[in-house]
Amino acid sequence: MSLFDLTHPISPATPVFPGDLPVGVRTVATHAGQGYAARRIDLGTHSGTHVDAPAHLLPHGAALDDLPLDLWIGPGILLERADLDAAPLPRAGRLLVRGCPDGITPHEARRIAASGARIVGVDGPSVDPVASRELPAHRILLGAGIPVLENLRLAGVPPGPGTLYCLPLPVAGGDGAPVRALWRREPAG
């Protein structure tokens, strides 16, 4: 049984959507100066490894605090993007897809929504191409009530079944939030 951290560390190097403000981390107290260490973090709700709630694009979509807590922890499967065209998609609950630097297609998003997935996660900055203005994959998935995890670190994680532990910061009325995402790979067999 292996545990993988899928989360980008919070630092000025944290990936953000192109055009978003970078993450800021600054020292506000030091052991030498104040007798303790403290930093201030400045980041957007869609910085680094994060979740998009339906409220991100849908005016009456569910906000983070409207979503059930049991959504964030449970069984799932990690697939390669090429496997999204295989029929049928497994009823995994939580679906992580590796190989999505430019998002997924609307066709793939519809297949995922029809599969019964409760969450879908990708290793790219967005489930849509960065230049997209219409955001069709977002609209399909969020419209089906499926939160989207973006900027997952999936390199080196073996595909197959596992358990996702994904805890978003509890932003009240949140359209999204940074998450700590862990994946426990189930043993083969």
Beta strands in the chain (DSSP E): 2-5, 24-29, 38-42, 50-52, 73-80, 94-98, 119-122, 148-150, 160-168, 176-185
Per-residue tokens: 72: 């964030």
Residue 35 contacts by C-beta under 8 Å, 6 or more apart in sequence?
none
d(CA 53, CA 63): 6
Per-residue tokens: 108: 């793939």
User: Is 138 marked active-site?
Assistant: no
Which of 8, 50, 56, 138 is flagged as catalytic?
56
Q: Which residues does residue 125 pair with via DSSP β-bridges, in sequence order?
A: none
Indicate which residues carry an active-site annotation.
56
